[in-house]
Amino acid sequence: MPLSKFFCKPDTSATVKRERRKEARPGELLAAALDLFVEKGFAATKSEEVAARAGVSKGTLFLYFPSKEELLKAVVRENISGRFKEWNDEFLSFEGSSAEMISYCMNVWWDRVGATKASGITKLMMSEAKNFPEIAEFYQREVIEPGQTLIRRILQRGIDRGEIRPLDLDYAVFTIVAPMMFLILAKHSPGICAPMTLAMDPKKYIDTQLGAILHGLLAAPAATSSPDKK
């Protein structure tokens, strides 16, 4: 610890560059890796590309991650928020109707996950789960299970309060989950979900789906709805 640390004004210019970078490196590399793995797939991404996108050289990547595969693991670990407990608490104290709750749930998910880079992880797992069972299992435990549990609780609460029809929850959760997955696909694989000509607005999509999910597509005279049309 050089004395300059005490007597000089805190390093502003030059000193910073190297030292600050050192701490920033792993993050920059993880971000670059996430981008590229999501964009091109794990196998099709060269480690040198990752390094280049992070603004460093090949060698530097391996200074921070011992192998490309460990980099992938780190990417997944890094981007899996352990935020489910926090969300759980948030929903435990939620006071509104089930419709509001579901709406809130999907919108919050979009803002905090779907719209962020973290959504790329799900896209990544879609392609790579089979190749990296160990990572897939981790993803299962950290994301899928807590997520579905959370949604299940929301629906159960709605059923208990008489706001939601009694449903087979095993399948009903997918009614909430499917649009989320669809949004991720639409974001990361444009052209797979919609014609490239349509620039989908996620918030509008969520709104529309909420309308369908909550009230159905069918027109008002609901009592008579489907059976006897013709």
Partner DNA sequence: GATGAATGAGGATTCATTCAT
Partner DNA sequence: CATGAATGAATCCTCATTCAT
- Interface with DNA by CB under 7 A: which residues? 11, 14-15, 17-19, 21-22, 25, 45-48, 56-60, 62-63, 66-69
Examine residue 79 and tell whether it contacts a copy of itself (CB under 8 A).
Answer: no
Residue 62 binds which of a copy of itself, DNA, none (CB < 5-8 A, kind-dependent): DNA
Q: How many CB atoms lie within 10 A of CB 42?
A: 20
**At its nearest, how many Å lie between DNA and the CB of residue 228?**
55
Binders of a copy of itself in range 174-193 (CB under 8 A) = 174-175, 177-179, 181-182, 185, 189, 191-193
Q: Of 64 and 205, which has the nearer Cβ to a copy of itself?
A: 205
Q: Of 10 and 227, which has the nearer Cβ to a copy of itself?
A: 227
Binders of a copy of itself in range 9-28 (CB under 8 A) = none
Q: Of 99 and 115, which has the nearer Cβ to a copy of itself?
A: 99
Which pair of structure tokens corresponds to residue 78? 């890094």
First-residue to last-residue Cα distance in the chain: 85
- Distance, in Å, from the CA atom of 16 to the CA atom of 12, rounded to the nearest integer, reads 6
- Distance, in Å, from the CA atom of 107 to the CA atom of 120, rounded to the nearest integer, reads 18
Q: Of 114 and 158, which has the nearer Cβ to a copy of itself?
A: 158
CA 94 to chain centre: 22
Stretch that binds a copy of itself, among 2-10, 57-65, 112-120, 134-142 (CB under 8 A): 134-142
Nearest to 103 by CA among 179, 156, 168: 179
Examine residue 217 and tell whether it contacts a copy of itself (CB under 8 A).
Answer: yes
**At its nearest, how many Å lie between DNA and the CB of residue 74?**
12
Task: Write down the residue that tokens 């000509």 correspond to.
Answer: 197
Q: Of 29 and 179, which has the nearer Cβ to a copy of itself?
A: 179
What's the longest Cα–Cα distance across the chain? 88
- Distance, in Å, from the CA atom of 37 to the CA atom of 28, rounded to the nearest integer, reads 14
Secondary structure class of 20 (helix, strand, coil): helix
Residue 18 binds which of a copy of itself, DNA, none (CB < 5-8 A, kind-dependent): DNA
94 within 8 A of 108, measured Cβ to Cβ: no
**At its nearest, how many Å lie between DNA and the CB of residue 19?**
6
Examine residue 167 and tell whether it contacts a copy of itself (CB under 8 A).
Answer: yes
